[in-house]
C-alpha cells in the first residue's frame, strides 16, 4: 500500500495523489494527519524492536504501518479543533502533545517516506532564513548577505524579483529552467538539508545576479508537472526490499 498524507486544503498534495492514481499506483490511499490522530481506534507500540501503529480508517479498514510501502509525506501540523472548557494553556498543551504523537506515528513510516519527519518539522526540517542561507552557500548557490538585528521595528529589505522556483527530488531538478551549475547546487542543498523533496526559490539581487531566495520542504508540487510525477512514482516504487 502507498499513501499520500496531506492536509485537506493542500491542493498540491491532492494533485499529486490524482497524478499517481492515473499512473496506476495501487493500492493508494489519501489520508490527512487527522485520520491518524483521531481515528475511532488506534494502537501505537514502541518497544525494543521498533515502533508500529494500527489505525481504523473511516470506512472500517485497518491501516497498519507495516503494510505501507511508500508515503508522500506533506503533513503540516497537528490540527486541534475547539476544546470545550479548556484554558489557553491547556489548549496549548494539547497541541504540543498531539504534535508529539503525530511525529511518533510518522516516525513509523520514516523509512519509506518522502519527506521523512524530524524534530523540527513533520515533513522535513523547517529552518530560519539565516540557516537556509548558510546551507545554500555551502552547496555552492550564490547568496545575498543576511542581516540579523534585535530591533523589531526595522523592516527587512524587500526581496528582489523572482527568478524562479525549482523542485529537487533526489538527484533531479524540476520547475524553472536554471543553468546546470545552479541545478547541481540545488541538489547539493537538498542533500545537506537531509530532505528528499525540497522547493528552492532563486531571485535577482540588486546587481542582477541570480541568488538563493529561500527554501521549504513542502513546496507546490504542481510546478514540476508530469515529469515530476513520473519521477515521484519511480521513487515510491523503488524502495529497498527490506522495507516491503
Kindly state the average pLDDT of the residues 4-24: 96
Neighbours of 59 (CB within 10 A): 5
- For the chain, the structural domain boundaries read 2-123, 129-216
HSE value, Cβ hemisphere, 13 Å, CA-based, for 101:
19
Distance CA 182, CA 216 (A): 17
H-type alpha helices, 110-197: 129-139, 180-193
Tens of pLDDT, residues 74-90: 998 777 665 665 777 88
HSE value, Cβ hemisphere, 13 Å, CA-based, for 53:
22
pTM, 2 dp = 0.88
- CATH of region 129-216: 3.30.470.20
**Range from 10-14, 44-48, 109-113, 152-156 carrying the lowest mean pLDDT:** 152-156
> What CATH architecture is 2-123?
3-Layer(aba) Sandwich (3.40)
| Percent of the chain whose pLDDT exceeds 90 | 66
Residue 154 pLDDT greater than 60, yes or no: no
Residues in Cβ contact with 70 at an 8 Å cutoff, skipping those fewer than 6 apart: 2, 3, 112, 113, 114, 235, 236, 237, 239
Residue 240 pLDDT greater than 90, yes or no: no
- Pairing status of strand 162-169 against strand 197-204: antiparallel
Kindly state the average pLDDT of the residues 225-242: 87
Structure confidence at residue 37 (pLDDT): 87
| Number of residues that this document lists for the chain | 244
Amino acid at each position: 500500500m502507498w499513501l499520500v498524507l496531506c492536509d485537506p486544503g493542500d491542493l498540491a498534495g491532492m494533485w499529486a495523489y490524482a497524478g499517481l492514481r492515473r499512473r496506476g499506483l495501487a493500492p493508494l490511499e489519501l489520508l490527512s494527519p487527522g485520520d491518524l490522530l483521531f481515528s475511532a481506534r488506534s494502537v501505537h507500540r514502541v518497544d525494543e524492536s521498533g515502533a508500529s501503529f494500527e489505525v481504523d480508517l473511516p470506512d472500517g479498514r485497518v491501516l497498519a504501518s507495516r503494510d505501507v510501502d511508500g508515503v508522500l509525506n506533506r503533513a503540516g501540523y497537528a490540527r486541534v479543533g475547539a476544546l470545550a472548557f479548556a484554558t489557553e494553556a491547556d489548549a496549548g498543551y494539547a497541541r504540543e502533545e498531539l504534535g508529539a504523537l503525530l511525529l511518533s506515528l510518522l516516525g513509523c513510516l520514516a523509512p519509506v517516506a518522502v519527506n521523512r519527519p524530524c524534530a523540527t518539522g513533520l515533513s522535513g526540517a523547517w529552518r530560519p532564513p539565516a540557516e537556509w542561507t548558510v546551507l545554500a552557500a555551502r552547496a555552492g548557490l550564490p547568496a545575498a548577505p543576511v542581516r540579523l538585528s534585535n530591533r523589531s521595528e526595522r523592516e527587512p529589505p524587500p526581496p528582489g524579483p523572482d527568478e524562479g522556483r525549482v523542485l529537487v527530488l533526489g538527484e533531479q531538478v524540476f520547475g524553472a529552467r536554471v543553468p546546470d551549475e545552479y541545478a547541481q547546487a540545488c541538489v547539493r542543498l537538498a542533500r545537506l538539508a537531509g530532505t528528499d523533496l525540497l522547493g528552492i526559490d532563486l531571485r535577482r539581487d540588486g546587481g542582477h545576479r541570480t541568488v538563493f531566495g529561500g527554501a521549504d520542504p513542502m513546496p507546490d508540487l504542481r510546478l514540476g508537472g508530469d515529469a515530476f510525477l513520473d519521477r515521484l512514482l519511480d521513487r515510491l516504487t523503488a524502495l529497498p526490499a527490506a522495507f516491503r
